[in-house]
Amino acid sequence: MSAKPIREFDGKHLLNHWIPLADPSCSFIPPTQLAHITFDLSLIKNKSDFKSHVKSVLDKTEINHPWLKSIKLVCKPDQLIKRRGKNGLLGINLNWSDVRKWIADRAGTTIQIEKTKGFLDTFLVEPFCVHNQDSEFYICIQSLREGDLIYFTHEGGVDVGDVDAKAMKLMVKVNQPFPTAESIKTTLLKGVKSDKQKKALVTFITLLHSVYSKLNFTYLEINPLVVLETAKGITVHYLDLAAKLDQTADFECGQFWSEGRKAAYPEDHGKFGSPIEFPAPFGRQMTKEEAYIADLDAKTGASLKLTVLNPEGRIWTMVAGGGASVVYADAIAAHGYTHELANYGEYSGAPSESQTYEYAKTILDLMTRNKPHPDGKFLFIGGGIANFTNVAATFKGIIRAMNEYQQLLQTHKVRVFVRRAGPNYQEGLRLMRSLGETLGIEINVYGPEMHVTGIVPLALNNDHKGLDDNDAVMSSGGSLMDIAQPEVPQVASTKKRLTSTTKAQVKKQKASNASKKIKEVAKPLFTNTTRSFIYGMQPRAVQGMLDFDFMCKRSEPSVACMIYPFGGHHVQKFYWGTKETLLPVYTSIAEACEKFPDVDVVINFASFRSVYESTKEIFTFPQIKTVAIIAEGVPEKRARELLWEAKQKNILIIGPATVGGIKPGCFKIGNTGGMMDNIVSSKLYRPGSVAYVSKSGGMSNELNNIISRSTDGVYDGVAIGGDRYPGSTFIDHMLRYEADEGAKMMVLLGEVGGDEEYLIAEAVKSGKITKPVVAWCIGTCATMFTTDVQFGHAGSFANSDRETAAAKNRALKEAGVHVPDTFEDLPKVLQSVYDSLVEEGTLVPNAEPEVPKIPIDYAWAQELGLIRKPASFISTICDDRGQELSYSGMAISEVFKEDIGIGGVLSLLWFKRRLPAYAAKFIEMALMLTADHGPAVSGAHNTIVTARAGKDLVSSLVSGLLTIGDRFGGALDGAAQLFSNAYDKGLSPAEFVTSMRKSNKLILGIGHKIKSRTNPDLRVSIVKEYVLTHFPNTEIFKYALEVEKITTAKKDSLILNVDGAVGVALVDLLRGCGAFSGAEAEEYMKIGTFNGLFVLGRSIGFIGHYLDQKRLKQGLYRHPYDDISYMLPEDDSVSGKLTGTRTLAEASNVVKRGVN
């Protein structure tokens, strides 16, 4: 839900802060005096503790707000409770001691408001405003599709009555200037007698709407609004306030919300203020499980939602998809089990295995927490036909959770019913079936042959009406690539299913419309020559569109190019069938339009943050006639601005928050229709006769499936999007279908919230729509809940009885639309209407074309396990494929949880195992000791020179690293091998030194240019102390120290240097820590592991030198002449002519040598 209610306390703070800022001259808003009091209901189990808690909170409130003791007060609950005055929840004209008692008597108590019961735990206290009845007014601003509607009446207060009937109304239209002061006076303020009040109200209403728009309010009601005339002037007070904000606008104005709350929360506001809070509806406190899932949802691009309705309930759901979650709740309620429905929620948007695991584990924990029910429990794992989610992958998370709860699932006698379809669903269902055998519980598994909610009546009433008996291919069997192929219904086989009611209804509608005006046939929105731009880098969606084009035998791809402002001009490779093709990628819509003037469709995949600006830019190009906006979470204010600008420019918008639409055999938008196997299964590669419009993208896939099984298939289908203000509406597309000769009948899938479905009913009544319409509005369960429940879509929330799904279904049926009794009956009604049209000859099914072959991507085939190939690379140290990166099998979260440090990470990635703590510490010591040794050494020198030549960091670093070798820094491996080999051969230190001298070889690891026995290298001393103290085995290290005694006796500087010390210490570490075999230790020495430590450590220093030179802005380095000895051969005849500074010979005087 995008429009979410806020507390009265927060709403008043927002207005008090921003209205004066909107007009600095505004002086009629008095200073803010509000006290917010909240109690901890977790203490309520112990009455004594809770009573002490209440007293403590009230005492603290008294200290923080000293003004409470000096004036008369009003107190009330601040928990989104409607009509508090009529429900006895207002304490008026009380002193502070009375307020304390009033609140203490009610805190923690349970009250019932209409059907809803809940605890009182949050209260608001404010000054009592003494006023007369003639100073009370009512004002409300409500966002509608057309604009912001302002309601005003000069009679406010508790008994305001029917506002719709008595209030004056003024529409502030979208993209239009705010009305003039005179318009406000003449339209809204007719009943206001005082000129002073009228003048103040004009200013207040203007400023109020300015703040309403700036802060993205969607609803704001003040009743009463009190305007007082005093000796000091006019003051305006809003005594009771109810408000909603558009939560999706947080990225635009979240800072404004927080800033407006600074005065409310001075102790924790920080720089910008604390984030706005959207409390749960009255009667439903957010549980810790709901909070946990909400936190998971906030951290992922997928959607994870959970609302606990009845923890004691026997029926639990785990449903994929926003629309599907609604129809499952509907089905359970329709069969009389609302009281047993335990939860509502959804998981969608391709959540990872670990995310579905956490989601499933949370639900299973709630389900099995209470005592077992003697009749057992039900778990519905359902969902629509996924567009691109790998069903098997998400099921793995659920399976993992169910394995952990095996015993509890058995104890609670849980019966599991699964219905799912989409990519790789066959494998997912196979895994679920195998799980039932493993766990020893009943798991019933179905695929697309079962109606989306057919498992509900099957489980609860043993009713098989959701199962398609004609479907020969069941999802419970077959191979991974099996595709259910529904037969097109034939008149002969279905005539018996025709009911007299359906026949009569179809004939009656035809007769009543026979005399209606024949409409002009409209050009179809999409054809087999339609071309589009894809805004955003969406290779998967583009490939899906090209695969669809190829299956439909289009002559050219439906995608002309992609537009990606961040990537520069390039081409992207795709497949056209089994051959490769290239599509250009441009950085601007202007360039794309210039290159392809025939394209008139843009599919905009920009994010919710940037889609407004990008769509506005798209509108500036006259050739564009249709724009699909895929993003969810577009602020309602921006969506309205776009749709009205599009209307003015005669551009059709599909979306926001849509999967798109599809014209079988012609064109599909983005990921609509799902993977290619579903395209084939639902026969979307050729046109049928049924056109549909839906809000839900997931349910549009279900409609494709249902229509293909009940009729000759889909002719055209659009998902307009689940937000409150879709760019195009039901009626837009239904009238388009009415004018299209190819559409013989229409299907409408509406939902709770809004009133667009009534326009369809009126169009059918008036004869604007003459073709048969089958309709159903989902969300019929909403009126059966005792508390407000927000369903999957932002717009699926009823603000009045008129907006309920049940009321809409009744109105549609009364208008002559074919409305089934339940959603599970939809296929039967579709079949009946279709058969009537076929029987009377209005519809003649076409011959079925050959089913096209499905080109399958290599990557997808590999994911399905259908192919294998030798890998190009083998990695045994790191895995980035899952939800969480792992180092040698250790999850990255565990790396930080156990605080293994750099040494521990290096041991995992270099040695593929955890080393003891002392070993990891020594590795870190080695890195620190070798990090740098000044700017004069060759590696640092090279790095500095390269940096000063203007090269980048990587080039400078590499120039330094390339100097590392046996002479500089790269002696760790050599020293380790020399000393260990000598020790292993049994050579004494003296024999080792003698053998190296006789071989005329230097002993790597011995010797230093500066340091000596009398001027020791403290780095070596540190290594020596640590190794001898912590290492269990120091044989090689002690051997090297004995060698040092011999070499320093010859020359003082032939000490064991840091390379040698670290190298021999590492040999002792590998041999003595118990983590390696002797062969492994030898191999690590031979493959350069020890030198790697020096390279890694010294890179730290090289980077430091690079940054130092850049920071100092040092110029190009040139070595001085006087530090170079020029010694070139010269001819004697010219030597006398050379000056003391001349060292280069003339070319003619160079002595020529060699044989020609």
Q: Active-site residues: which are they?
A: 793
Q: How buried is 38 (Cβ within 10 angstroms: 0-12 exposed, 13-18 middle, 19+ buried)?
A: middle
Instruction: Say which residues have a Cβ less than 8 Å from residue 916's Cβ, sequence separation at least 6.
Output: 1073, 1074, 1075
Q: Residue 962: what residue type? A: L
Alpha-carbon separation of residue 1148 from 886, 1130, 1143, 1156 (angstroms)? 68, 11, 15, 18
Q: How buried is 279 (Cβ within 10 angstroms: 0-12 exposed, 13-18 middle, 19+ buried)?
A: middle
Separation CA 933–CA 324 (nearest Å):
66
Q: What is the CA radius of gyration of the chain?
A: 39
Instruction: Say which residues have a Cβ less than 8 Å from residue 1139's Cβ, sequence separation at least 6.
Output: none
Query: Which long-range CB contacts under 8 A does 562-565 form with residues at least 24 apart?
Result: 562/533, 562/534, 562/535, 562/536, 562/537, 562/538, 562/586, 563/533, 563/534, 563/535, 563/536, 563/587, 563/588, 563/589, 563/592, 564/536, 564/537
For 1138, the enclosing helix (H) or strand (E) is: none
Instruction: Say which residues have a Cβ less than 8 Å from residue 602's Cβ, sequence separation at least 6.
Output: 532, 533, 534, 535, 589, 618, 624, 626, 627, 628
SS3 state at 733: helix
Three-state helix/strand/coil letters over 597-643: CCCCEEEECCCCCCHHHHHHHHHCCCCCCEEEECCCCCCHHHHHHHH
Q: How buried is 978 (Cβ within 10 angstroms: 0-12 exposed, 13-18 middle, 19+ buried)?
A: buried
For residue 855 the two structure tokens come to 């080109």
For 947, the enclosing helix (H) or strand (E) is: helix 938-948
- Asked if 306 and 363 touch (Cβ cutoff 8 Å), the reply is yes
Q: Looking up tokens 């299973």, which residue turns up?
A: 364
Separation CA 696–CA 319 (nearest Å):
14
SS3 state at 310: coil
Instruction: Say which residues have a Cβ less than 8 Å from residue 498's Cβ, sequence separation at least 6.
Output: 832, 835, 836, 839
- Asked if 1095 and 964 touch (Cβ cutoff 8 Å), the reply is yes
- Asked if 834 and 711 touch (Cβ cutoff 8 Å), the reply is yes
CA dihedral 64, 67, 69, 70 (to 10 degrees): 170
Q: Residue 617: what residue type? A: E
Could you tell me which of 673, 710, 677, 712 has the C-alpha nearest to residue 852? 677
